[in-house]
């Protein structure tokens, strides 16, 4: 018969001795602590994040700053500069119109919502009425075009004056809105809509 196994004795590790805690005031008063270089204090967790100031980009040969904006299927290309003739204006041209005449924001957009969206970056940065802005827009509807113009002007303003970036980011004018129409699926009548079920 096999011999019965005897259980092994497990030796417990000795408990660590209690460490005496010295008050921080006493440590700071010692001469050795005075010789140590001061340690940088980490910022508070709830302190606001400060984005480093960007560098202004130079204008092109004609003195324009450019920006491109998109929303849904609309694409806008904006260029701005300080007015040479002293007349600040915002003009819009679209490839969809038969006439090549440029229109003001009030002439192009009939909805007050779209008019406000188009010039909101200029009003937020206090540059409305101080810059000459020309916009070419194509695709989409009026709402998509207005918001594409907003992004295009915001990007051009950021290159023109980097100090305006903080205001534009706070108001989410430099963020591309990625929401779009969901595609239709095969075997369905729409993106989510199914055909009516018939048992027979």
Average pLDDT over residues 8-17: 64
What is the structure's pLDDT at 54?
Answer: 81
Closest Cα to residue 79, out of 95, 96, 91?
Answer: 91
pLDDT tens per residue, range 135-169: 999 999 999 999 999 999 999 999 999 999 999 99
Measured between alpha carbons, how far is residue 179 from residues 182, 186, 199 in Å? 9, 22, 37
- Inter-residue contact 53 to 163 (CB < 8 Å): yes
| pLDDT value for 151 | 97
Taking the C-alpha atoms of residue 57 and residue 19, their distance in angstroms, rounded to an integer, is 60
| pLDDT 10s digits, 40-56 | 555 566 766 677 878 88
pLDDT at 36: 53
- Domains in the chain (CATH in brackets) are 65-170 (3.30.230.10)
Give the helix/strand (H/E) hosting 93.
Answer: strand 90-94
* Ranges assigned E (strand) in 115-199: 132-138
Measured between alpha carbons, how far is residue 143 from residues 21, 30, 70, 96, 139 in Å?
Answer: 67, 69, 12, 15, 11
Model confidence at 34: pLDDT above 90: no
The helix or strand, by DSSP H or E, that contains position 148, with its residue range, turns out to be: helix 142-160
Total length of the chain: 200
Q: Can you tell me the distance from the alpha carbon of 200 to that of 191, in angstroms, rounded to the nearest whole number? A: 25
Q: What pLDDT score was predicted for residue 168?
A: 96
Tokens of 163: 């100090």
pLDDT digits (tens, 9 = 90+) for 67-113: 999 999 999 999 999 998 888 999 999 877 767 789 999 999 999 99
Predicted pLDDT of residue 198:
94
pLDDT beyond 80 at 9: no
Q: Rounded to 5 degrees, what angle do the CA atoms 134, 138, 141 make?
A: 110
CB 79 within 8 A of CB 65: yes
At 18, the pLDDT band (50, 70, 90 cuts) reads low
Mean pLDDT, rounded, for 161-180: 95
């Amino acid at each position: 018969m096999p011999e019965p196994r005897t259980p092994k004795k497990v030796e417990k590790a000795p408990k660590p001795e209690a460490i005496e805690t010295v008050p921080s005031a006493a440590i700071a008063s010692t001469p050795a602590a005075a010789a140590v270089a001061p340690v940088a204090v980490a910022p508070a967790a709830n302190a606001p994040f400060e984005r480093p100031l960007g560098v202004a980009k130079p204008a092109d040969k004609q003195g324009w700053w450019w920006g491109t904006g998109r929303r849904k299927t609309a694409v806008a290309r904006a260029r701005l500069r300080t007015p040479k003739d002293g007349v600040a204006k915002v003009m819009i041209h679209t490839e969809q119109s038969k006439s090549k005449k440029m229109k003001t924001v009030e002439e192009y957009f009939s909805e007050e919502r779209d008019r406000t969206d188009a010039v909101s970056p200029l009003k937020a940065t206090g540059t409305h009425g101080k810059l000459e802005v020309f916009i070419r827009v194509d695709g989409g509807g009026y709402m998509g075009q207005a918001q594409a113009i907003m992004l295009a002007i915001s990007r051009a303003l950021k290159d023109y004056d980097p100090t305006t970036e903080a205001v534009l980011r706070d108001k989410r004018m430099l963020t591309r809105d990625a929401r779009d129409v969901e595609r239709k699926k095969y075997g369905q009548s729409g993106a989510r809509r199914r055909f009516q079920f018939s048992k027979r």
